[in-house]
Chain A
Amino acid sequence: MSGAILEVRGLNAFYGPIQALFGLDFAVEEGGATALLGANGAGKTTTLRALSGLIRRQGDIRLGGKPIAGLSTEAIARLGVAHVPDGRGTFTELTVEENLRLGAYVRSDRRGVRRDFERVFGYFPRLAERRRQQAGTLSGGEQQMLAISRALLMRPALLMLDEPSFGLAPMVVAEIFRILAAINRDEGVSMLIVEQNASLALDLADRAVLIETGRAAMSGPSQTRGADDAVRRSYLGY
């Protein structure tokens, strides 16, 4: 497959001795967005954690053609994989601005970083208002915006989002997904999105992978009609 920013073949992942993923195959197109769907406990979060090297994994993982399965979490991040983890991973005791500066930690292009600060403040003006505030005092939605902004400051080749809608009010979710769609469409940032809310994710994504108990049950373009049926079967069991 050419033009893929991320290619995954035969991905196995383990929590201690327990195997949680069994030979997962999927890809994210350059500039595209792939949604990982599935019921609770299917292995969506596990997939992202395996890709980031936070848990033990085997298989062929290529970022822009380069194998990354043997690299450490830090090294993968430095190659441009920005992982917004579940629970948002906020540095709660640091200020909003310090959180963002950490996103740009490995970059040395000061001018570009300053531009990116302006860019994320453009997307999320509320963060600009609160830049000196301690991040732990932000609301859940604001913390999600902060986590996405921190990831964007890494100038990612691939943005991985773990349930950006989790625990948020519907209006906030709509706003965040509108902005994610803009980032994907206008800036061409490739995305891999884990979502419980399948219809939200399918609106944003051009491809979808359905995971059932650690295996890919289905994968393909997200717009096909069949996707809906398979998703419903997987979530609801009929």
Chain B
Amino acid sequence: MNAFLHQLASGAALGGVYAIMALALVMIYQATQLVNFAQGEMAMFSTYFAWKLTDLGWPYWRAFAVTVVVSFLGGVLIERVVVRPFAKAPVLASVIVFIGLSLIFNALAGWLYGYSVTDFPTPFDGPPWFGQRAMSAHESGSILVSLAVLMLVYAFFRFTPLGLAMRAAAQNPTSSRLVGIRVGWMLAIGWGLAAAIGAIAGMMAAPIVYLDPNMMAGVLLYAFAGAVLGGIDNPFGAAFGGFAVGVTENLMGAYVVGSEVKLSVALAIIVGVLVWRPSGLFGRRLVARV
């Protein structure tokens, strides 16, 4: 029983990471109808940046905060410099750009930091919280951080004028421009937010999956499965899907298929959802009048 609870807990901890990665994917998808395949490698690169800062002796939370801010600016810069020129290009061109970006960040990380697997510090050290045994301190802390990110993002989009303007720009760019919203900047800020959220996901995942240039490949796939499961046009659904996928893959890995092939659980979820319910659990089915 304890072992089962333990699997459940570590599934939820990684699920939180998938949830906020899925949220980052959804954010860009809603604004552009494109899936950013470079999201994982961007997050990985941010995580290396944080690692470098802690390696230089910075306290964890200062490194964390600076990494989030730098990742935000980096995301904005990437949108302005690399993504923007392809705004009117066919979808496939953008997809190629994303794949190119992910290769660039992967190679850059390998070149700068090497390909060896490294430990990444967690701020949630020490004995398990509340005296319970099923969940390590990092798992508890990571879940809390994920939930905090989800709530902050929700509050941002729901209650701030900038969040409202970003939703408006994603929905109806022309009307948004007619009320004075700088739509191009909204998209750049969206990329910045997605990069910042990805950085947090990376820093929460790294103590579990360890730091190496390929650390986010699996995470991104699970996040994508979560987003598809919950509905890629629905932030809540995507976050829920992320948690669900985390728990499912962990339990499947522990009790059913074994940890070697548990990545295929993510693929099975993606294919299954796309076959049976393409809009996801909470997605909107698109009905178009022709």
Contact = CB atoms under 8 A, between A and B. Distances in A.
B177 interface: yes
Contacts of A89: 172, 174-175, 178
A93 interface: yes
A114 B178 CA distance: 21
Contact of A54 (B174, B176, B183): B174
A150 B178 CA distance: 10
B178 A52 contact: yes
B164 A74 contact: no
A93 B171 contact: yes
B271 interface: no
Interface in B179-226: 179-183
B273 interface: no
A98 interface: yes
Nearest to B167: A94
B175 A154 contact: no
B172 A83 contact: no
Nearest to B181: A105
B168 interface: yes
Contact of A101 (B164, B172, B174, B183): B164
A150 B179 contact: yes
B161 interface: yes
A73 B177 contact: yes
A83 B175 CA distance: 9
Contacts of B174: 54, 85, 89
A98 B164 contact: yes
A72 B181 CA distance: 11
Given A101-B161, A105-B161, A77 B177 contact: yes
A22 interface: no
A154 B172 contact: no
A168 interface: no
B159 to A, nearest CB: 11
A16 to B, nearest CB: 13
A85 B175 contact: yes
Nearest to B176: A102
A102 B182 CA distance: 12
B178 A73 contact: yes
Given A98-B164, A105-B161, A105-B165, A74 B177 contact: yes
Interface residues of A, number: 24
Contact of A74 (B161, B167, B168, B181): B181
Contacts of A105: 161, 164-165, 179-181
Contact of A91 (B161, B172, B177, B182): B172
A103 to B, nearest CB: 6
Secondary structure dominating the interface of B: helix
A94 B179 CA distance: 15
Contact of B168 (A77, A91, A154): A91
B180 A106 contact: yes
A126 interface: no
A74 B165 CA distance: 13
A90 interface: yes
A103 B178 CA distance: 9
A102 B164 contact: yes
Contacts of A102: 164-165, 168, 176, 179, 181
A74 B180 CA distance: 4
Contacts of A66: none
Interface string A102-116: 110110000000000
Interface string B15-48: 0000000000000000000000000000000000
A9 interface: no
A78 interface: yes
Contacts of A101: 161, 164
Contacts of A154: 179-180
A98 B169 CA distance: 13
Interface string B146-174: 00000000000000010011011001101
B179 A103 contact: yes
A163 B181 CA distance: 24
Interface string A136-171: 000000000000001000100000000000000000
Given A72-B177, A74-B180, A103-B179, 13 more contacts: A78-B180, A85-B178, A91-B171, A94-B164, A98-B164, A101-B164, A102-B164, A105-B161, A105-B164, A105-B180, A105-B181, A106-B179, A154-B180
- Give 10 nearest A-B pairs by CB, closest first: A89-B175, A77-B180, A73-B177, A106-B180, A78-B180, A83-B178, A74-B182, A102-B179, A74-B177, A102-B168
